[in-house]
Structure formats: structure tokens, C-alpha cells
Amino acid sequence: MRTADGSHTLSWGQEHYHSVHGAVQESTHVFIKAGLEHVAKAHVDVLEVGLGTGLNLLLTWIRCLEGKLTATYHALEPYPLAAATLDELRHAEDLAWPGLHAPFMELMTGPCDAWGDALGGLRFQVSRTDVRAFGATEAFDVIYFDAFAPGYQPDLWSEAVFSRMFAALRPGGVLVTYCAKGDVRRAMQAAGFSVERLPGPPGKREMLRATRPR
């Protein structure tokens, strides 16, 4: 479906992959502005929980192509979308980068657990590992936590999962998410994060940014 800013998203039951108020607006506001740009490093190691349609990946890649940073990008996606579905979304065209569609499709449909060559300042790997079994330690600067909402996947928003995310971040690293529920914030705090409420994207009052203290 087309969202309010003209960009596309998908539905999963009653849940949408992105905000109906604007898929690109939401991803840019939550993950790029409040996460990637907040880190403010020349090279950023990114973990995404919930690769979905790849919109956050594409937005990050464009920042690399613009010369703003380089990135390694590891995504967890146990249930990858079919190539035909991804092809129909045309995210690269929504972002006025139509020439990226073919290489973006190659990234999104490539083999799991394999690092590809750096392309335009970005190296990418996708894994089908469930976040509840993820065990990296101090490997990332920013986590895009983009799982489906707690009402659909409550186990992914638990203190146990956020403890894993805390361990995966380097000191000073941040986790950003569109979700601002009180029980999610408290689970993050119980895992050791310092959590702040930030203004949300169009259609949402707030979002959360959790920082691993230095």
C-alpha cells in the first residue's frame, strides 16, 4: 500500500511494516536521524532487528553513497520477504534513487550469513538468527530495533532481549525504536540502558532512544 508521504509499505495481518503516515518519513526520523546521525561517527557498525522490506538498509546505504559515512550492516530477519514482493515495492524509486533498485535487490535476496563486497561504502550481511538467540558482544554502534509491535510479538520486547541488545552495543552505543510504550521503556531500563523519550515521527507522539552508558 502507498503511505501518506507517497512511499510504499506492506501489511502483516493488521500490522503494517511502516507507518501509514509515511514509511520513509518514519524510518528517516526514527532510525536515521535519531540513531545513525546521532552516533556521528565516520564508520558505523549497524545491527537491525527486523530487516523487513529493507527500507532502513536503503536509507543507510544512501547516506554512505552521499559520502556521509561508511557502514557495516548486519540484519536479523528470520522470515525474509520474497523477491517478487520486494521488487514490487520499488523503495529505491520512492527515494529518487532508481538506479539502486537492481543492486538493492541483489543485497536483499543474496545468501544468508555471507558478507558481500563493500558497495558504495556499505557492507551488508543478513542472518535468519532470532534476536532471542543473538549473542554478539560490544560489536555495534547503533541498533535499529524494528520488530513488529509488542502486541504482535511481545517476546521480542522483553528485558531478556534488551539485555542481549545492551551486550551487543559498544559503550555509548544507542538503540532506537518507533515504540514508546511504558513497559518497553522499563524493560530497557531494567537491562541497563539509559532511556529517553524523543518526539515521534508523523502520527506518533513519542519514540525511544536507549543508550548503553560509557
Cα–Cα distance for residue pair 108/58, rounded to 1 Å? 10
Name the percent of the chain lying above pLDDT 70: 90
Residue 16, pLDDT score: 45
**Cβ proximity of 42 and 70 under 8 Å:** yes
The tens digit of pLDDT for each residue in 14-34 reads 444 444 446 899 999 999 999
Residue in 76, 134, 64, 138 with CA at minimum distance from that of residue 104 = 64
Residue 116, pLDDT score: 82
Strands (DSSP E) contained in the chain are 11-12, 15-16, 43-49, 70-76, 122-127, 140-145, 169-177, 194-199, 206-211
Residue 3, pLDDT score: 58
Which CATH topology does 11-211 take?
Rossmann fold (3.40.50)
pTM score, two decimals? 0.90
Kindly indicate the confidence band of residue 11, based on its pLDDT and cuts at 50, 70 and 90: very low
Domain spans of the chain, in order of start: 11-211
